[in-house]
Structure 1
Amino acid sequence: MNSKDLILGRVRAALADGPETTDIPRSYRREFPPADLDVLIDRLVDYKAVVHRGADVATIVAGIIGAGALVVPPGLPESWLPPEAALTGVESADGVLTGAAVAIAETGTIVLDASPDQGPRILTLLPDLHICVLRPDQVVASVPEAVARLDPARPLTWISGPSATSDIELNRVEGVHGPRHLHVILWEAA
């Protein structure tokens, strides 16, 4: 028997006489109001994100990244990439371009779930710029609606603006835990 088995055995023995667990009721609100894109935009801008709207994602991305190099997840639609885009690995990227799982208008939060168009979390942590493309049908009004759409078994990352923190004197410092710049493209597909 190793130490891990010994410790877990003791925990199980201590819990054996505890109360039985019950199922948690999940019958809360299931009807949701329509999402308001203007509320989402207002929240994103308040969090210091830059919001773009348009049908030509590749042109918008080209305007944001300029001559910089992008890292992209393997399942990203090729139509989102500018033809002249320089693609690179995450360690030398100036920015990352991803999709999203859902966005919450009420809180201005974007949720990534590591789907093929988003890739693993490391892609959005290292570059200083994150460009995220949202379809209007991915925008929901509230957190309960977002949670109802998400798969809890997937790795979820909730983003509310560029990475920022405050020191003890409440001085804002950006880019400590991720990208300092967040650009959100609301894709108005033709």
Structure 2
Amino acid sequence: MSARDDILARVHAALGTTPAPAEVTPGGAEVTAGGAEVTPLYRTTSGLTEDELVDLLVDRLEDYKARVEVVAAEGLTEAIRARLEGKTFVAPAGLPAHWLHASLAERRVTDSREAPLAVVRLDELDAVVTSSAVSIAETGTIVLDGSPDQGRRAISLVPDHHVCVVPVETVVGIVPEGFARLDITRPLTFISGPSATSDIELERVEGVHGPRTLDVIIVR
């Protein structure tokens, strides 16, 4: 017997027989080896109200250095226009047309899977505007899933400025709630603030792996 085997044997003897692992049903409940259903030991909902969810998400996003505004639906077009003032930008083909002010038309470039823009072209543009699939308040994370109003992953990573619209009904409290709404077979992009990294001297550098500036517009 090797030293490793001896140590593992002692650990096993001290811990006793390991119980059979529990199975997890599609609904999230665990089923023991004996067939009894038990409540998961982790939270599956936050229990927060809509106001509490919005306040928590705003707090987390601002802590990550994102610029956040909460607007009514009728104020969304003007909010987007203000953030794209004087900028060329790309928008996915499925972005709702009424979200964009008519004055932005000449500075807009459209991207789609059928007619994708080259990375070089995306790099020439100042900004990108997309919607979002799910936002997790507790972690301050916005998730894009490649839906028509969010577009290809490349358009949210190459331009230096991302204007992201978050419908309030897509905001959840915690990670399990978020994943329950997502299709994990889709190309998911998780965003927690503007792109930033720190070297070994802990000097923060922004815009390394994605947009340097993140504007989040929460629509209630």
TM class, shorter-length: 0.7 to 0.9
What is the CA-CA distance between 1:66 and the residue it aligns to?
0.7
What is the CA-CA distance between 1:32 and the residue it aligns to?
4.2
> Aligned partners of 1:177, 1:74: CA distance in 2, in Å?
24
What is the CA-CA distance between 1:159 and the residue it aligns to?
0.4
What is the CA-CA distance between 1:143 and the residue it aligns to?
0.5
Relative contact order higher in (CA < 8 Å, ≥ 6 apart): 1
Q: TM-score with structure 1 length normalisation? A: 0.83
What is the CA-CA distance between 1:61 and the residue it aligns to?
1.2
Query: Hey, what does 1:45 align to over in structure 2?
Result: 62
Following superposition of structure 1 onto structure 2, how do residues 21-170 of structure 1 map, counting pairs within 5 Å? 24-25=23-24, 26-27=28-29, 28=40, 29-34=43-48, 36-54=53-71, 55=73, 56-85=75-104, 86-88=107-109, 90-170=122-202
Q: TM-score with structure 2 length normalisation? A: 0.72
Three-state SS of the structure 2 residue aligned to 1:155 is coil
What is the CA-CA distance between 1:92 and the residue it aligns to?
2.5
Unpaired stretches in structure 2, ≥5 consecutive residues: 1-20, 30-39, 110-116
**Higher Rg of the two aligned structures:** 2
Contact 2:45/2:173 (<8 A) preserved: no
Three-state SS of the structure 2 residue aligned to 1:176 is coil
Unpaired stretches in structure 1, ≥5 consecutive residues: 1-21
Three-state SS of the structure 1 residue aligned to 2:103 is coil
Moved over 3 A (4+): 28-32
> Aligned partners of 2:65, 2:195: CA distance in 1, in Å?
10
Q: Supply the RMSD in Å over aligned alpha carbons.
A: 1.6
Count of residue pairs the alignment pairs up = 167
Residues 177/130 of structure 1: CA separation in 2 closer, same or farther (3 Å cut):
same
Q: Taking every aligned residue pair, what percent have the same amino acid on both sides?
A: 50
Three-state SS of the structure 2 residue aligned to 1:72 is strand
Contact 1:73/1:118 (<8 A) preserved: yes
Contact 1:57/1:79 (<8 A) preserved: no
Q: Deviations over 1:88-133 (max 9, x none)?
A: 2524221100000100110110001001110011001111000000
